[in-house]
Structure 1
Amino acid sequence: MRAVRSTLIAIGGALILAGCAAQTPQTRVTRFHLNQPIAPGEVVVEPRDPTLAKDLEFQSYATIVQGELTRLGFGAARDLTKSELVAVTDVRRYSQPVGQARSPLSIGLGGGSFGGNVGVGGGVSFPVGKPRQNYEDITELSVQLKRRSEGTVIWEGRAQTGARSGTAAAGPEAQVRTLVAALFRDFPGRSGETITVK
Structure 2
Amino acid sequence: MSKRLILAACLALPIGASAAAAPRVEVTRFHVGDPARSGTIAVEEMPGNPDISLEFRTYAAAVAQEWQRVGFTTAAAPAASDYVAQVAFRRSFRPTGAPRNDRPVSVGVGGGIGSGGGSGLGLGIGINLSGKPKDMVTTELQIQLRRRADSAVIWEGRAMTQARQGSADAQPVTAAQKLSAALIGGYPGESGRTITVK
Provide the TM-score with structure 2 as the length reference.
0.76
Q: Does 1:30 align with 2:25?
A: no
1:123 maps to which residue?
none
User: 2:21 is aligned with what amino acid?
Assistant: Q
What whole-Å deviation, never above 9, does each CA across 1:5-64 have from its counterpart, x for those lacking one?
225413531x12332124310110000011314231000000003665671221121111
2:9 maps to which residue?
10
Q: Which runs of 4+ in 1 moved over 2 A?
A: 3-8, 49-54, 130-134
1:103 maps to which residue?
none
Q: Does 1:147 align with 2:173?
A: no
Output aligned runs, 1:29-178, within 5 Å. 29-49=27-47, 55-99=53-97, 132-178=132-178
Tell me the number of residue pairs that the alignment of Structure 1 and Structure 2 aligns: 168
Q: Return 5+ residue gaps in structure 2 as ranges.
A: 99-129
Q: In the superposition, relative to structure 1, how do residues 57 and 131 fare at CA in structure 2: closer, same or farther (>3 Å)?
A: closer
User: 1:187 is aligned with what amino acid?
Assistant: Y
Q: Matched residues in 2 for 1:74 and 1:58: separation? A: 20
Q: Matched residues in 1 for 2:24 and 2:92: separation? A: 16
Task: Give how far 1:173 is off.
Answer: 1.3
User: Percent identity over the alignment?
Assistant: 41
User: 1:45 is aligned with what amino acid?
Assistant: V
Q: In the superposition, relative to structure 1, how do residues 176 and 17 fare at CA in structure 2: closer, same or farther (>3 Å)?
A: same
1:20 maps to which residue?
18
Q: Is the 8 A contact 1:48 1:90 kept in 2?
A: yes
Q: Is the 8 A contact 2:58 2:172 kept in 1?
A: no
Task: Give how far 1:136 is off.
Answer: 0.8
Q: Is the 8 A contact 2:37 2:71 kept in 1?
A: no
Q: Matched residues in 1 for 2:24 and 2:17: separation? A: 14
Tell me the C-alpha RMSD between the 2 structures.
2.3
Q: In the superposition, relative to structure 1, how do residues 40 and 52 fare at CA in structure 2: closer, same or farther (>3 Å)?
A: farther
User: 2:9 is aligned with what amino acid?
Assistant: A
2:124 maps to which residue?
none
Task: Give how far 1:155 is off.
Answer: 0.6
Deviates more, 1:75-84 or 1:16-25: 16-25
Q: Matched residues in 2 for 1:44 and 1:186: separation? A: 20
Larger Cα Rg: Structure 1 or Structure 2? Answer: 1
Larger proportion of strand: 1
